[in-house]
Structure formats: C-alpha cells, structure tokens
Amino acid sequence: MRRLLKTFVVFLLLSPMAAMAAEPYKEGVQYFRLDTPVPTKSGNNIEVAEAFWYG
C-alpha cells in the first residue's frame, strides 16, 4: 500500500511537468530573436546563454 501511495504521489508531482513540456516555445514569449547576431567563441556553432532571476 505504501509503495502504491508513493508511486501515485510521484505521478501527481511529475504530470504537470510533462504537460508543460509538450507546449512549443513561442518567439516573443519564452525567447526573443536578436536583431544582430552575437559573435560566438566556437565560430559558427550555436551557443546558448541562460539567465535566471528571482524577480
């Protein structure tokens, strides 16, 4: 019974994450396209810069 309860709780905690992951990203909402490309250290490869803020 405890194992079933633990499995159910984990499922409830992870199911909203799966639903959010299915939505496609929208330009202007989750990311913004830069007007001028920024030079990268690796040449023509794409580099991803990430920022986080508790605002």
pTM of the predicted model, to two decimals?
0.34
Alpha helices (H) in the chain, listed in sequence order: 2-21
The count of other CB atoms within 10 Å of the CB of residue 25 is 7
Give the pLDDT confidence score for residue 27 in this predicted structure: 92
Cα distance between residue 22 and residue 47, in whole Å: 23
Instruction: Give phi and psi for 17, each to the nearest 5.
Output: -65, -40
Q: What are the domain boundaries of the chain?
A: 1-55
What are the pLDDT digits (tens) for 1-55? Answer: 888 888 878 877 777 766 666 678 889 988 888 898 788 877 778 888 788 888 7
Identify the bridge partners of residue 20 per DSSP, sorted by sequence position. none
Give the pLDDT confidence score for residue 1 in this predicted structure: 84
